[in-house]
Amino acid sequence: VSDAKLAELFNLELAGCTSHARRPFALYEDEDPEFCGAMLHYFKGLYIYEKALDLNGRNALNVLAVRHVDSRQMWEDIRCLATIMLQKWSKATKLGAAAFYILRHFVKLTAYLENPIISIFNDFSERMLRMENLIVSPNP
């Protein structure tokens, strides 16, 4: 929000996208199958929790109950593995950068845990923004 008066009316909170954090581990899994496989397993667990909420009743109470216990523990496992991976992989490598991304953006990546309205990923929103940019771009 660029208008100062309008910005005063809102409390904007940035949330990270789990898909962005997960993607490098899938792309470069062949470089470290053990650690990447474990990381992808953790991310799959997060998606399973969210899908189970869809199937069994997504309401604020259920969402927060699952996210505060199960998802939070999964994120702690992800943070621990990212820390271990940084001991093996330099930040200059793709996998090191991916692990560092998780640690650097951990608060934003886990912001959805405290707000049942926030999605675990923002893929759809980003696709819509890209489409909007293509529509308004003078050079498609």
Count of domains for the chain: 1
Q: Which of 14, 20, 28 is nearest to 102 (CA)?
A: 20
**What is the pLDDT, as a whole number, of residue 57?**
86
CA distance 46 to 99: 17
Query: Does 102 fall in a domain?
Result: yes
Query: Does 1 fall in a domain?
Result: no
**What is the pLDDT, as a whole number, of residue 1?**
59
Query: Does 7 fall in a domain?
Result: no
Query: Does 41 fall in a domain?
Result: yes
Query: Which distant-in-sequence residues (6+ apart) come within 8 Å of 124 by Cβ?
Result: none
Query: Which distant-in-sequence residues (6+ apart) come within 8 Å of 12 by Cβ?
Result: 1
For the chain, 140 residues long, give each residue's pLDDT as a single digit of tens. 578 887 788 776 677 889 999 999 999 999 999 999 999 999 999 999 999 999 998 999 999 999 999 999 999 999 999 999 999 999 999 999 999 999 999 999 999 999 999 888 765 555 555 555 555 556 55
Q: Structural domain of residue 123, as residue ranges?
A: 13-136
